[in-house]
Structure 1
């Protein structure tokens, strides 16, 4: 009985953590959002707001996230 009483808050915390991770993954790997970020990054570079090094670094990161997002979309579509 005591174990159940102590385990309930732990299970709730674990469930909350899983929900937070799901939401973070949804936002982080949303292909439409990533496309918008790529366009914004390109504009910032063209306007001289960021250096070429920063542009290339951030573009690479966004493209990797985009690949993962597309793989996740294909998995869900199956």
Structure 2
């Protein structure tokens, strides 16, 4: 009983941390989100809302994230098809 009193708050913190990490990963590595951001970035550039330099920096970041997202997707697919 006493053990649960001390470990329950810790378990809750761990679960919240896992959920936060899951949401951050989804935001950073969700292919649809990245594609939408790339389209939005392109529109901003074409409408002269951002400079070419800012566009290139943000585009590079998004493309790196896109490649990582695709790599993760392939790893998940390989794990699922192993069975």
Structure 2 unmatched runs, 5+? 79-83
5+ residue gaps in structure 1?
A: none
The aligned length equals 78
Shift of 1:36: 1.2
Query: Which whole-Å deviations, capped at 9, do the CAs of 1:6-65 have from their partners, x for residues lacking one?
Result: 121011111111111112201221111111111110111111000011101100110011
RMSD after superposition: 1.2
TM-score by length of 1: 0.90
Please report the TM-score for the alignment, with normalisation by the length of structure 2: 0.85
Aligned to 1:10: 10
Secondary structure, in 3 states, of the residue corresponding to 2:15? Answer: helix
Larger RCO, structure (CA 8 Å, separation 6 or more): 1
